[in-house]
Chain A
Amino acid sequence: MHSADLISLAPFIVLILGGLTVLALGIWPQHVSTRTLATVSAMFLLLGAATTVLWETPQTVNNMLIIDNLGRLFAQFFMFGAVAIIILSFNYAPTKNEVREEYLSLILFATLGMTLLVTSHNLVTAFVGLEILAVPLFALVAWKPTRSGAIEGGVKYAILAGFAAAFFLYGITIAYASTGTLNLAALGSITTDNYLLIVAATLILVGVGFKLALVPFHMWAPDIYQAAPAPITALFASIAKVAVLVFLIRLLCLQLQNIWEALLPLLGILAVVTMIVGNLLALYQQNLKRLLAYSSIAHLGYILVALSAGNSLGRDAAIYYALTYALMNLCIFAVVAAFSRPDQDRQNLEEYRGLGRRHPTLGIAIGICLLALAGLPPTAGFIAKLLAFGAAIKAGYLILAVIAVINTALSFYYYLRILIVFYGEKSTKQDVIHLSQGTLSIVIISSLLIIGLGIFPGWILDLIETL
């Protein structure tokens, strides 16, 4: 352990300290207001993001962590994302008075888990990171257990996540059994045709596929998205998923490239099934949160199309897609959170009728966001799809791209359905909706970023290419 390592570890230390500080403040003899707690935890997150700037890249810490630009980009992204989640939660009515030190420290710990995941240079690190991400989520899904469906969602997620983690772990152990090492670089340097390593990677893919909600590992997603409070759903659908995705990208595209090539057909099959099933399930879904869950499943299918291209363009496309995907989902779930009723989220799509019209600022943001999800130019969603499908075409998988394009066309149907409802005329009674500045600013910032990344994708693409 050198002093340079300390700099590399600084963001992790800041996050842990942040979690402890918030917990300590929570049990302080004098009452500390929730606003203070939230501010403190957001400060720690921003401080963590700031310390990543100090990183000297690339280097490894004890061969356990790899500190590089990819890790930095996403570590910062997660920390800003977590700040957004905290702001959303702070203004979220259904868990009012329950967002206290436990909640905030769990979010900080989950962010730590995500950061560990994207900087892991060892399969054990990845496993521990995955679990540090997962265990807080068990509780966060069931936050305020008296909400309807909260406990059921928590139980389901805990059991199924454990189930998938068992596959993940089993894959790790088989990788270890076949090679005698857990280090990613060492695993990547194995050039001989190691059959068991492929099996191990497949099992790891099952575990990762569960977190990414790929079909057929997807079935938990709608239930959990529905059960969780909207800010936590946003956490699930955006940064938590992207953390796992970036780990997958690092594992396959950067470290185990032999395995990546071997897995291409499987990735292709998963991509096709995921796209089709996700879109079909979303088609007539009436519950907005479930619908968005299915739509996010379909989006992972598109990302897999990029990954199954097997070239560097596909990798870059997947990274770009991951960023835009997270932004889009953050934005849309922030909208769901903003429009929540005092006791729970609006579930049925019809309950959102006319809301975009009544709140024009949010309405425009929703429009942008849905168009981006549908992949229409000039939003970032269009560029992301273009790059992803272009990568598949470049690799010669025209049929994959064709299926993806057809699916994109299909997805227009339900995105427009949402859009129409949001802009529809409200016929029945108007309930009062109090929109907080914080939530509003998150929606606006993320939709501006979506448009900005679509019109000027250059600056982020240049960055990605240098990773």
Chain B
Amino acid sequence: MYEVIFYLTAAIAVLAAGAILKVSHPVHAALYLVISLLALALIFFLLGAPLLAALQVMIYAGAIMVLFLFLIMVMNLRSERNQSLSLPSGWKGPAILALILWLELMLLLNRYPAEETNEMTAIEPKAVGHALFGPYLVLVEAAAVLLLAALVAALYLSRKGRS
């Protein structure tokens, strides 16, 4: 049962991502992206990472999606402006390239001598927190600076960018 749910969710994640290739309206694409991200959150949960599952829902599905949708609304995009309903003519090359990339990665990853004996144990949020504010503390601070830098950059651009 566990396996069935896992593969089913994975299929949803992949198919939803694939759908972004086809849809024409940005809102639809955003919705497919949300579906893919939520499916991924479920996968995280199934893999035993409950904290990440929650964060995935909050940050991606919550925050980032809102950003996307907000921008779509601001730009007031209608589908006729994004007229590329069908795939552009030169789609074969990139498609083959991506396929090759995937096949290569698959072949290379398959060589991995995976021992199947490991028991699945959930890593509790507490362990993650310990790691985060233990050895990774310096980086947490650094990430804070990164966010600040992004904030400053975004503020400047949105202030000066208005023509």
In-complex A–B contact (CB below 8 Å) = yes
Which A residues lie at the B interface, using CB under 8 A?
A: 1, 9, 12, 16, 19, 23, 61-65, 98, 102-103, 105-106, 109-110, 112, 116, 122, 124-125, 128-129, 131-132, 135-136, 138-139, 142, 144-146, 151, 154, 174, 177-178, 195-196, 199
CA of A142 to CA of B137 in the docked complex: distance in angstroms?
Answer: 32
Shortest A348–chain B CB gap in Å is 27
Q: Is the interface of A mostly helix, strand, loop or mixed?
A: helix
A residues near B146, Cβ cutoff 8 Å: 109, 128, 131-132, 135
A136 and B149 contacting across the interface, CB-CB below 8 Å: yes
B153 and A135 contacting across the interface, CB-CB below 8 Å: yes
CA of A177 to CA of B105 in the docked complex: distance in angstroms?
Answer: 13
A62 and B137 contacting across the interface, CB-CB below 8 Å: yes
B139 and A106 contacting across the interface, CB-CB below 8 Å: no
A9 and B138 contacting across the interface, CB-CB below 8 Å: yes
Whether A132 contacts B149 in the complex (CB less than 8 A), given A98-B160, A196-B108, A196-B111, comes out as yes
Closest 4 CB pairs of A and B: A139-B153, A102-B156, A109-B149, A62-B135
B residues near A196, Cβ cutoff 8 Å: 108-109, 111-112
Residue of B141, B142, B143, B161 touching A145 (CB-CB under 8 A): B161
Whether A1 contacts B153 in the complex (CB less than 8 A), given A19-B145, A145-B160, comes out as no
Which B residues lie at the A interface, using CB under 8 A?
A: 108-109, 111-112, 134-139, 141-143, 145-146, 148-150, 152-157, 160-161, 163
B153 and A19 contacting across the interface, CB-CB below 8 Å: no
Residue of B111, B112, B135, B145 touching A112 (CB-CB under 8 A): B145
A residues near B142, Cβ cutoff 8 Å: 12, 112, 116, 125, 128-129, 132
Shortest A157–chain B CB gap in Å is 12
Shortest B154–chain A CB gap in Å is 8
CB pairs A–B below 8 angstroms (14 shown): A19-B149, A102-B153, A102-B156, A105-B152, A106-B152, A112-B142, A122-B139, A129-B142, A132-B149, A135-B150, A136-B149, A139-B157, A142-B157, A146-B160
CA of A106 to CA of B152 in the docked complex: distance in angstroms?
Answer: 8
B139 and A102 contacting across the interface, CB-CB below 8 Å: no
Shortest B26–chain A CB gap in Å is 16
